[in-house]
Amino acid sequence: MPQVRLLAAPVLLALLLLAGCQRAPELYQDRMLAFGTLVDISLYGVTPEQGRAVSARLQQQFLAQQQAWNPWQPGALATLNAALAAGHGTTVDAQLAHLIARGRALAAASGDRFNPAIGNLIELWGFHRADSALPSAVPAPQAVDQALAQRPRMVDLQLDGLQVSSRNPAVQLDLGALAKGYAVDLALETLREMGVENALVNAGGDLRTLGRPGKRPWRIGIKNPREPGVLASLEVDAGESVFTSGDYERFFEHAGGRYHHILDPATGYPAGGVRSVTIVHDDAVTADAAATALFVAGPEAWPAVARAMDVRQVMLIDAQGRAQMTPAMAERIQFERQPAPPILIRPL
Amino acid sequence: MSRTDTVITILAALLVAALYWLLWQRGPAGSEASIWVAGQETMRVPLSVDRRLEVEGAVGRSVIEIADGAVRVLDSPGPRKICVRMGWLREAGDSAICLPNQVVVRIEGDQPRFDAMNF
């Protein structure tokens, strides 16, 4: 009968539309300023009340960590640095002790390309203070040489339980290349404790995931170091970390030169030849340190350091705009920019 | 083909076209920007109207410009001008953070293509 068949059309349409519809799990999002950047948290499958409770707890946690681990303002790390400079040791809390121990192990694995003991050099360049006057010039070569000559190294530290001391008073810890990674790992622990199973914590260029956003992987966009827009995208699974270090985060220009904040501990000057390094790894602390270490290692030598640090998924954009990658990274990265940059695969 | 068949066929074709458009278009440009002062979101501005506005922050005024569906920080107190150097923000999730003045500008958009941006 014609009427029944006419009715079938909208019913069919409705069925088709409903079939295509997937109910996404409830998403709670919040963002907060911490560690000098905007930290985004995305929580799946929580009620707004739970979300607010989690936000409040994380905000508190981040602020406490920021204060404890910022060496340039009064706090636990500043106190430690003062003690080390005065030639005696002091006791720190378990978290700071853990962070220092991890820093020492990662520095060793990276051949000291990642070297958190160079606080004096960082201070010399002026990259440490968030809002003070920019240096009007590059530091005097003699000052840089002098800082280098003191050879502050993580191996100079003695760690005895919670007691930290140094046989080299020039060791001044700046854990900036590690702190966000640890903060992110600890945030995820807190989320698990609070019963959250699926979440993403993104501190600017440093993120880690927990669970999944529904029945699909996480979709992460990687920004182009030199132009607006997305350079590449990545599908990321539960528990993976994606960390990027770039020469565009903090820099100043002077007399035609451009000086960024990732110093090469061997030369005392900003590491050259690289625009950004992106690492995918499980553990956020390793990913954070490796992003810096490989940046310093440079466009030729980075694969050896990646091997030594046991990171297998690396993308390095060099000063020529070429994307150098490990095979494991090449398998999962998708370039969004057309045309894609020149690609160089470097097996480890 | 009967008339009903024709109707169904046309509707189905329209549905496919609509799905194509929905699923294959580029990620949405942001439609509005949020402005944050001292860690709190204080206002949202549409990106459809070209304008310039000043926002009072912790140490002075940040100047924000909206033009051609994008937003940027034109000027902000502080020596480093990191947020000014971010340039034009266009896609959902793009943000410029003016630390000394504690002002943040961020592009908001619904259903962004990405769960997070790494940079």
pLDDT confidence of residue A279? 97
- A228 CB neighbours in chain B (<8 A) are 87-91, 94
- Residue A2's H or E segment, with its range, is helix A2-20
Min Cα–Cα distance to chain A from B113, Å: 7
Given the structure tokens 């090449």, which residue do they identify?
A330
Q: Encode pLDDT of A20-73 as tens digits.
A: 555 566 899 998 988 888 899 999 999 999 999 999 999 999 999 999 999 999
pLDDT confidence of residue B26? 44
- A31 CB neighbours in chain B (<8 A) are 106
Nearest CB among A6, A38, A213 relative to B104 is that of: A38
For residue A106, give the amino acid letter.
L
For residue A347, give the amino acid letter.
P
Q: Encode pLDDT of A189-219 as tens digits.
A: 999 999 999 999 999 879 999 999 988 999 9
For residue A178, give the amino acid letter.
L
For residue B29, give the amino acid letter.
A
Asked if A329 reaches chain B (Cβ–Cβ under 8 Å), the answer is no
**How many CB pairs below 8 A link A and B?**
110
Nearest by Cα to A107 from A165, A143, A157, A168: A157
What ipTM was predicted for this assembly? 0.81
- B115 CB neighbours in chain A (<8 A) are 42, 200, 213, 218-220
Average pLDDT of the segment spanning A8-23: 61
Nearest CB among B15, B114, B119 relative to A244 is that of: B119
Average pLDDT, chain A: 90
Average pLDDT of the segment spanning A231-258: 88
CB atoms B115 and A42 under 8 Å: yes
Nearest CB among B12, B104, B119 relative to A223 is that of: B119
Q: Residues B67-94, buried b or exposed e (16+ Cβ, 10 A)?
A: eebbbbbebbbbebbbbbebeebbbbbb
CB atoms B39 and A32 under 8 Å: yes
